[in-house]
Chains A and B, each alone.
Chain A
Amino acid sequence: MDLVIPKIDVVSLGPELILSIAAIFVLLVSVFLPKGRKDPAAYLSLLGIFFAFVSSIFLWGNPRYSFNNMILVDNFALFFNSIFLIAAGLSILMSVNYLEEQEMSHGEFYALILFATVGMMFMAAGSNLITIFLGLETMSISIYVLAGFFRRSNKSNESALKYLLLGAFSSAFLLYGIAMMYGATGTTDLKGISEYLSKAAYLKDPMLLAGMGLLLVGFGFKIASVPFHMWTPDVYEGAPTSITAFMSVGVKAAAFAAFVRVFLYSLWNLQPDWNHVLWILAVLTMTLGNVVAISQNNIKRMLAYSSIAHAGYIMIGMVASSELGTSGILFYMLAYAFMNLGAFGVIILYGRKGEENLDINDYSGMGFKYPGLALLMTVFMFSLAGIPPTAGFVGKFYIFSAAIKSGYIWLAIIGVMNSLVSVYYYLRITVMMYMKEPVKEFAGLKWSPSMAIALIIAVIGTLLIGIFPSPYLDLARQSVQLFM
């Protein structure tokens, strides 16, 4: 038997390779660093992230399949790559001092973030269900560990266990869906599936529809859509805060990347079938996320429910099933990355070991004591609520107008009503900060250069995208052009 080695196009793997090598380097270097002073490992990982970003830019605009159609490096994947890299970079910057303060500064933390990012990139670029599945598992396994990284903390352990059990449960569903897809179409290649379905003769094959449903369940778990959202608040609350930030942006973006790629590209011919389901799920997800977020008193739990609601808004972009809707998803994900990471950054900075200050009441009076920090938090809260001139407003605007253009006027109306509800709980924090007397003494903030840089990047991103959205929207448009 002759082996025909496929063309190995290493360049197309650039970002993934750079990050993997950086991760291994971080592991090696951190062995030689003194105990508790592992911040050089963080800076080394940031260097890797920077180079991965550069190599993503070089690949831009030159879509190609490589490794026997296992991955497709197109602008869509590269746009998501930049979101993952932003999420990873900002989370690492926020973690440096946080970990030292919690006495958990270890190089493995940063290496695992890099491995998780590699997994996310394979999810976004995967053009075969196996690549997507393996990318998803690489990401999830690293995140299980990171969620439980504070080994002495019961909450962190609990968060890791819940995430692990429900994550593994959901990957079993995803896998069963892949098996049925494979049975119904004879291939796991996304292009092959789409070509097979274009013949339209077998579109009512029950096995195909069941496979699609199971894939929906699998992805639904990862994007935290109702009714598969139960794990979100507990996992987000218990995990180390910088990991919560990374999860809420990175994991969600990666899951959406694969979700969009599979449903809007491969299963495009089944669009009439999945569209109704997604419509209902989007409404449920938004509404439940927002309504339950109102009654939360822990700020991490509140942001967890808010992230569920944001998944609902993004799903509207999928229901719209148009080029505008898809570019709206990309744009929204980018905006969400900046504002959500920023909000979690403020939470990290406002807490310390033994005094996490996670109760919403702890924020009262913050505006008088720390005006700068309170101003940042206000910007992020305004953006999450979708108030102009912030990135969140523009993102919502594009998504809702895409829905209206595709004829889903009711969906857009429900979305707008939902974001009105969300204004209540986001502004509650702002009101607390500026209009209430402080309830307790707090020993002062510990600003660190890395945290300051992270917050500045986040706030600049939030405002810049909000005030000058068109270049970013153009990038998002270019990323979906080859797509449909």
Chain B
Amino acid sequence: MTVTGFFFFSIAAVVLISAILVVVLRNPVHSALSLVLTFFSLAGLYILLNAQFIAAIQVIVYAGAIMVLFLFVIMLLNLDKEKRVGEKHPLQKAFGIAIAVFLLVALGSIVAAGVLYGNKGIHTEARVSAIGNTKAIAGLLFTDWVLPFEIASILLLAAIVGAIVLSKKEL
């Protein structure tokens, strides 16, 4: 096994185990902490995929900002362990798992081929590493993709206004 292979399989194992723990653990705080672990290890996979900028913002935005918000809210609400998991709705649970397994088989068999026929782009690995991953992304973001970038700013403004409207004590 090559070095990258070793890294891939160990990180993938961590990703999977921690993702399953998110779903299985009863205590929301534990779920949130294993989600943090999932996010961190995904950042590792992004580095293996040569996407350093995405790896960095994965840690900063996801593991940093988003999960802190989750943990903050869980602790603020002082949630207990979830009771009655699966007791009230065994049928629903079975149904959910059946759908999910079907989805897994369908998606898995489709992606397992792993052949992409799509048109190749111009950003080969050599080219990107000559420019630098972050710089290359920034270059695209502020030229070809500038409109989505601006829409994202409207989206964030709407989200800020919305979050304040909903959670402020006195409006």
Contact = CB atoms under 8 A, between A and B. Distances in A.
Given A6-B144, A196-B119, A205-B117, A138 B155 contact: yes
Interface in A53-73: 67-68, 70-71
A1 B154 contact: no
Contacts of B144: 6, 68
Contacts of B126: none
Residue among B109, B131, B162, B164 with the highest chain A CB neighbour number at 10 A = B162
B97 interface: no
Contacts of A180: 110
A71 B3 CA distance: 44
Nearest to A138: B155
A183 interface: yes
A479 B116 CA distance: 35
A210 B143 contact: no
B145 A130 contact: yes
A112 interface: yes
Interface in A102-132: 106, 108, 111-112, 115-116, 118-119, 122, 128, 130-131
Interface in B119-160: 119-121, 131, 135-136, 139, 142-148, 151-152, 154-155, 157-159
Interface residues of B, number: 37
B5 interface: no
A250 to B, nearest CB: 15
B158 A112 contact: yes
B165 interface: yes
B146 A6 contact: yes
Nearest to A27: B161
B116 A183 contact: yes
A184 B106 contact: no
B77 to A, nearest CB: 14
Given A138-B154, A196-B118, A4 B107 contact: no
Contacts, number: 115
B159 A206 contact: no
A6 B110 CA distance: 37
A361 interface: no
A67 B142 contact: no
A128 B159 CA distance: 23
A478 interface: no
Contacts of A4: 143
Contacts of B151: 122, 131, 134-135, 138
A137 B151 CA distance: 10
Contact of A3 (B139, B161, B166): B139
Contacts of B91: none
B171 interface: yes
A277 B117 CA distance: 25
Contacts of B162: 112, 141-142, 144-145
A325 interface: no
9 contacts: A68-B144, A71-B147, A106-B171, A119-B155, A145-B162, A145-B165, A145-B166, A160-B166, A206-B109
Interface of B: 106-107, 109-111, 113, 116-121, 131, 135-136, 139, 142-148, 151-152, 154-155, 157-159, 161-166, 171
Please give me the 7 A-B residue pairs with the lowest Cβ-Cβ distance, nearest first.
Answer: A186-B118, A145-B162, A186-B119, A67-B147, A115-B158, A70-B147, A134-B151
Given A108-B165, A180-B110, A184-B117, 10 more contacts: A1-B131, A4-B143, A6-B146, A130-B145, A130-B148, A131-B148, A134-B151, A183-B118, A184-B116, A186-B120
